[in-house]
């Protein structure tokens, strides 16, 4: 088993690409996708592309991801195998003997149909992992120099980029957060108003930081970043991040969860992350039910999906979150085959819902057969940025979803759990699919249903990604109705009294971005719920999005 360890650098040589196609990328924002394509066209591999895409996203998808956030990536190929890099946030406070007075306060976000309370402030920031995680992944498996990988992000940060409708909408939703302090107002409200679709935003401080990262010593820039964390988010400033925290933090390489499903093997995020094991439990139940014989989107199909999602919710309510840290081997046994363990039955619990789910996902497969899927998040952001660096820090310590035992209860130094579940599906030992999703608790449901749509029902990729979805948490069902066959809506409402019906596709149900390699042909599908886009890299170049 490839477990938590340091590994040697992978190959960096190039191979000729068949048919002039160098790779495919699916993302939730045009600049993000274009950054990855640029690296593929310059001879980079899937890891170069996904790191470049995520660096660009820290500029152009700033409400969703940041170098002050965290995430996870699964990547690999048939020759060298597959691994997960965990660079999610860690609980701060190492070396502190008493809890300081925290800058930690509730703030209400209005989603229109509902409101939700988040906690922000410097005391909501976990030890971030995204910067060191992206650097570690590039060192481990990238091919091109770091200066080329950072170049798209540098250009958009310095010169500005056009804000997409989705990013403008999300910034508007979290207006109380993006206007909370002068340091974040500079990033989001340079004209003293919320950004609108088509506006140009720039972040020259972040551009300068990234430029120095690529041209000089990355270690020196990381040291500058860590010093800023301590100077502005330490205990004397209302935060919890200590010198011991930043010294101890490192990305962790893990063996992926391996879930057999028919002729395929599904590889996904292992404990202490929550999403992968829950997806595995759902696949297990679907396998036991023989899912796939029903007409797609029919009454029988929708009721079967609801039964599977209800079981997944029961599993989470049966002490699952505790086992992520205390007994991770039990999670691997849960998804490996055989009967569901006794603790995975007969227990439902209502869990809090994050209506936004401020995460974003990128998937890549290159022409050489390397796949990578990466999900990152900044939470909603804590409302404070690092002065001089243009980096908005996370509020992971202020989200109910990932603090099930209560705020500030996790032991200092512990890696926090997350529903993020970047996933690769193998046919034999070669990647067939690479996918993942944003969407908070709905991540597990979005990925599970997309997998079943492709693997059990054989649906085309775009239909599999954009078909109507459900989500169940405790005793509550949410579902989208477009495209459902006659009688399906009524059946769901009869079996789940009080179900919430969406008459159009909603970002509530996640944002799956998926790429595929089928019989040597590359394909992709972006989730229209969250602005999904697919770009192919070829030998002729690409125009990319407007800048």
Q: Exposed, middle or buried: residue 287 (CB in 10 Å: 0-12, 13-18, 19+)?
A: middle
CA 146 to chain centre: 23
Closest Cα to residue 207, out of 157, 142, 258? 157
Please give the span between the terminal C-alpha atoms of the chain, in angstroms, as a whole number. 45
Name the residue among 18, 42, 17, 38 with its Cα closest to residue 27.
38
b/e per residue 188-198 (b: at least 16 CB within 10 A) = bbeeeebbeee
- Both tokens of residue 3? 């477990």
Question: Distance between alpha carbon 270 and the CA centroid of its chain, in Å?
Answer: 14
Q: What does the angle CA 23 – CA 28 – CA 32 come to, to the nearest 5 degrees? A: 60
Q: Residue 229: which residues within 8 A CB-CB, separation 6 or more? A: 128, 241, 246, 386, 393
Look at residues 347, 346, 316, 341 and name the one whose alpha carbon lies nearest to residue 329.
341
423 is catalytic: no
SS3 313: helix
The residue written with tokens 């749509």 in the block is 453
Buried residues in 218-244 as b, exposed as e (16+ CB within 10 A): beebeeebbebbbebbbbeebbbbbee
Phi/psi for 171 (5° steps) reads -60, -35
For residues 117 and 105, what is the distance between their CA atoms, to the nearest angstrom?
Answer: 10
Q: Is 118 helix (H, G, I), strand (E, B) or coil?
A: strand
Q: Which of these is catalytic: 58, 183, 359, 450?
A: 359
Contact assessment for residue 479 and residue 495, using Cβ atoms and an 8 Å cutoff = no
Neighbours of 463 (CB within 10 A): 15
**Helix runs in 271-320, H state only:** 275-289, 299-315
Antiparallel, parallel or unpaired: β 252-254 and 257-261: unpaired
Q: Which residues are catalytic?
A: 359
């Amino acid at each position: 088993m490839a477990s938590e360890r340091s590994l040697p650098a992978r190959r960096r040589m190039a191979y000729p690409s068949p048919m002039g196609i160098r790779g495919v990328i699916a993302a939730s924002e045009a600049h993000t996708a274009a950054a990855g394509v640029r690296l593929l066209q310059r001879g980079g591999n899937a890891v170069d592309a996904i790191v470049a895409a995520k660096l660009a996203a820290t500029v152009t998808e700033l409400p969703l991801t940041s170098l002050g956030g965290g995430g996870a990536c699964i990547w690999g190929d048939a020759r060298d195998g597959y691994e997960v890099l965990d660079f999610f946030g860690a609980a701060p406070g190492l070396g502190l003997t008493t809890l300081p007075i925290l800058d930690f306060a509730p703030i209400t976000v209005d989603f229109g149909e509902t409101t939700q309370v988040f906690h922000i402030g410097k005391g909501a920031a976990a030890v971030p992992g995204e910067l060191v995680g992206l650097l570690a992944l590039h060192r481990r498996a990238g091919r091109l120099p770091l200066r080329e990988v950072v170049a798209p992000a540098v250009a958009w940060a310095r010169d500005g980029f056009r804000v997409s409708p989705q990013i403008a909408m999300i910034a508007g939703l979290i207006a109380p957060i993006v206007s909370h302090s002068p340091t974040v107002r500079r990033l989001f409200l340079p004209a003293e108003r919320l950004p609108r679709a088509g506006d140009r935003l720039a972040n020259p401080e972040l551009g300068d930081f990234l430029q120095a990262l690529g041209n000089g010593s990355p270690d020196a820039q990381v040291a500058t970043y860590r010093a800023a964390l301590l100077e502005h988010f330490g205990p004397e400033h209302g935060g919890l991040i200590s010198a011991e925290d930043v010294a101890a933090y490192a990305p962790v390489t893990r063996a992926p969860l391996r879930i057999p499903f028919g002729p395929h093997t599904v590889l996904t995020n292992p404990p202490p992350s929550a999403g992968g094991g829950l997806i595995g439990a759902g696949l297990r139940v679907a396998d036991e039910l023989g899912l796939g014989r029903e007409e797609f989107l029919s009454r029988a199909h929708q009721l079967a999906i609801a039964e599977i999602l209800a079981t997944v919710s029961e599993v989470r309510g049966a002490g699952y979150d505790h086992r992520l840290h205390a007994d991770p081997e039990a999670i691997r046994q849960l998804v490996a085959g055989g009967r569901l363990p006794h603790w995975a039955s007969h227990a439902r619990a209502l869990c809090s819902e994050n209506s936004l789910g401020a995460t974003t996902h990128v998937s890549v497969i290159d022409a050489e057969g390397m796949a990578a899927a990466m999900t990152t998040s900044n939470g909603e952001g804590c409302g404070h940025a690092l002065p001089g660096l243009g980096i908005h820090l996370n509020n992971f310590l202020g989200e109910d979803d990932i603090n099930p035992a209560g705020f500030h209860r996790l032991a200092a130094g512990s890696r926090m759990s997350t529903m993020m579940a970047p996933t690769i599906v193998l046919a034999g030992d070669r990647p067939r699919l690479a996918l993942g999703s944003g969407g908070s608790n709905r991540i597990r449901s979005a990925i599970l249903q997309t997998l079943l749509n492709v693997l059990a029902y054989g649906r085309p990729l775009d239909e599999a990604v954009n078909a109507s979805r459900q989500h169940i948490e405790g005793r509550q069902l949410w579902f989208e109705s477009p495209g459902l066959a006659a009688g399906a809506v009524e059946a769901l409402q009869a079996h789940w009294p009080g179900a919430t019906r969406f008459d159009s596709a909603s970002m509530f149900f996640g944002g799956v971005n998926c790429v595929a390699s089928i019989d040597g042909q590359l394909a992709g599908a972006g989730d229209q719920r969250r602005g999904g886009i697919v770009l192919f890299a070829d030998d002729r170049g690409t125009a990319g999005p407007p800048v």
